[in-house]
Chain A
């Protein structure tokens, strides 16, 4: 189980789009906690995901119009362009081909 913290502006549908990125992959959402955070909002999700899905989710969340920042609770994993934080390329390739 991995935690993700997504900071977003609380505009119409943004939280639903964030959750949809998980639900469209048939990921269970056992824990969702959303609350105001400073001037914005933050939602924390716990998800059972593989390494390939981590990269996909980070990128998909970040492509949502009002998402500001995406972090993973596993480490100080601020979103970076590539590769997914904490994922070595060889591992990611193995996961992608699994």
Chain B
């Protein structure tokens, strides 16, 4: 006879889980009681949001399912932002929550929350376990849905009496989904190849084709196939923030990031193209700008695993539903039998010097210089985790990773406070990798308590705060679109982050913009950055940034990509 809690842990082990992130509490105590000797290592964070973001970081960098645990009520509701984040960014995540005992459900008992109901619209699948017999099936099915198709979050809510109850345990079960009529298209059984000739015909008619790469590329695991295809097509190519790293940055046809803070070259090409080929991107408004004026001359071919993502912004001419690992090779094989037009003239225009950034070395912007210095000194295969705000966009613009999982950020939900706990999860997954966490002063304070987790585990995470003493991105919008009415974005009374880190027994130091005014930077500054990056201990570097530094290019909300602002314009 085993307790429900032991069965949960055995089922987790059967799913390959070695690491879970969580925070204990009343209803989930039986599960914590069973942890020792279970083979599942628990990482105690200092807030449930830290736990779920850490689980996300682990999942994002490994591609495996991240697991977070919390108790009922506030413990469970503190997971909600992370669950929403995982839904938006297609992160495989299983959250296990304790619930009040079965007899109390629905009575507004102490720490009772309907977490099943609260998370219904944020999850791919969820289950409130009613009997101990359901536990193996619930865990097997939960992991199946978290991993399958477009990955996403799952919640399994277990009443405390189910965790305490005992039963004979026959072993973990395997979940097999019911077949559905159109599943062959969505789940990788890709057989419909009639579309390929149509795409080839569109390419042959096109004079200005482009390719857009999104998160689906890395999620599919089809990066080598995608890179081969892009080499074959040899057309101007750009990426969403989650597609960064999927295309080697040195590729001659690569134009960088597209969208609200995308490169001038990428946004211009997207505005001019007559054929847009999308590989695993859902086209949210940060990518499209004003949807009605998105790629106004283009026909669209959309390779996508999740049918729900098609036609959200505008209809596409040819949808290709399936896993890129199946659809790209099928397309590539057919493409080899055809001769494509010579796109070199278009490529030369789209990738030409005239469309390069106005200030490619960031000479006018010391923060960009600082990030360039930092990134250029990173060891190969480092992972950069960015929080949300100006520093996130600067980092996305400047970090040129050729690893599809080398740049991690909360892109869809834009959840401030993501980076530090996510870095904990990344570092635990990749103990020998240099993990650099870049935050703003606002976002860092949203989960600053996870410095305790970093210290307790001795994780050599390298943390950088770009400290402009403002909620910088909001302030930038206030400057540009609200007549500099800096309502409630002033953080000039920030604490001294260096002293705070010291209180957590983490080595920390400060650099200011003056150190970046020399070009190249002084040997002393360079050595200090090198020491920071190569330290085997946790380290915090606070970079004092000009309060009113802005991120450019920028497409104002509601404007078309063609209307991007390239540099500061006078406030109207």
Contacts and interface: CB of A to CB of B under 8 A. Distances in A.
Find the residue from A59, A68, A79 having the highest chain B CB count within 10 A.
A59
Given A12-B116, A68-B178, A97 B121 contact: no
B314 A96 contact: yes
Interface stretch (B124-132, B165-173, B197-205): B124-132
A16 interface: yes
Task: State which size class the interface on A falls in.
Answer: 20 to 34
B131 to A, nearest CB: 13
A97 B126 contact: no
Given A63-B307, A89-B315, A16 B182 contact: no
Contact of B178 (A9, A80, A93): A9
A59 B185 CA distance: 13
B511 interface: no
Interface in B285-324: 291-292, 306-317, 319, 321
B314 A59 contact: no
Interface in A10-51: 12-13, 16-17, 20, 24
B202 to A, nearest CB: 14
B180 interface: yes
A56 B311 contact: yes
Contacts of A16: 117, 120
A56 B310 CA distance: 8
A92 B120 contact: no
A56 B309 CA distance: 8
Interface in B237-296: 291-292
B311 A92 contact: yes
A62 B116 contact: no
Given A12-B116, A13-B116, A92-B311, A81 B178 contact: no
Contacts of B127: 12
B145 interface: yes
B307 A81 contact: yes
Interface in A49-98: 52, 55-56, 59-60, 62-63, 65-69, 78-84, 89, 92-93, 96-97
Q: Is chain A's interface secondary structure helix, strand, loop, or mixed overall? A: mixed
Nearest to B126: A13
A84 B313 CA distance: 14
B129 to A, nearest CB: 10
Nearest to A57: B308
A54 B212 CA distance: 26
B297 to A, nearest CB: 13
A26 to B, nearest CB: 13
Interface in B1-49: none
Nearest to B179: A68
Given A17-B120, A81-B182, A93-B314, A63 B306 contact: yes
Task: State which size class the interface on B falls in.
Answer: 20 to 34
Q: Is chain B's interface secondary structure helix, strand, loop, or mixed overall? A: loop
Given A13-B120, A59-B310, A65-B124, A83 B181 contact: no
Contacts of A78: 181
B321 A81 contact: yes
B312 A56 contact: yes
A97 B292 contact: yes
B308 A89 contact: no
Nearest to A96: B314
A56 to B, nearest CB: 6
B104 to A, nearest CB: 19
B126 A96 contact: no
Contacts of A67: 180
Contact of A96 (B125, B150, B178, B313): B313
Nearest to B296: A97
Contacts of A80: 182
Given A16-B120, A89-B317, A63 B308 contact: yes
A79 B307 CA distance: 11
Nearest to A58: B307
Given A12-B116, A16-B120, A65-B145, A83 B311 contact: yes
A83 B315 contact: yes
Contact of B125 (A9, A20, A65, A81): A65
Nearest to A90: B315
A80 B186 CA distance: 12
A82 B311 contact: yes
Nearest to A65: B125
Interface of B: 116-117, 120-121, 124-128, 145, 149-150, 177-178, 180-182, 185, 291-292, 306-317, 319, 321
Given A17-B120, A83-B311, 10 more contacts: A9-B178, A12-B116, A13-B116, A60-B308, A62-B307, A78-B181, A79-B182, A81-B185, A82-B319, A83-B315
Q: Which 4 A-B pairs have the closest CB atoms?
A: A63-B308, A82-B319, A59-B308, A96-B314
Interface of A: 9, 12-13, 16-17, 20, 24, 52, 55-56, 59-60, 62-63, 65-69, 78-84, 89, 92-93, 96-97
21 contacts: A12-B127, A13-B126, A16-B117, A16-B120, A17-B121, A20-B120, A55-B311, A55-B315, A59-B311, A63-B307, A65-B124, A65-B145, A81-B182, A81-B319, A82-B321, A83-B311, A83-B315, A92-B315, A93-B314, A96-B315, A97-B292
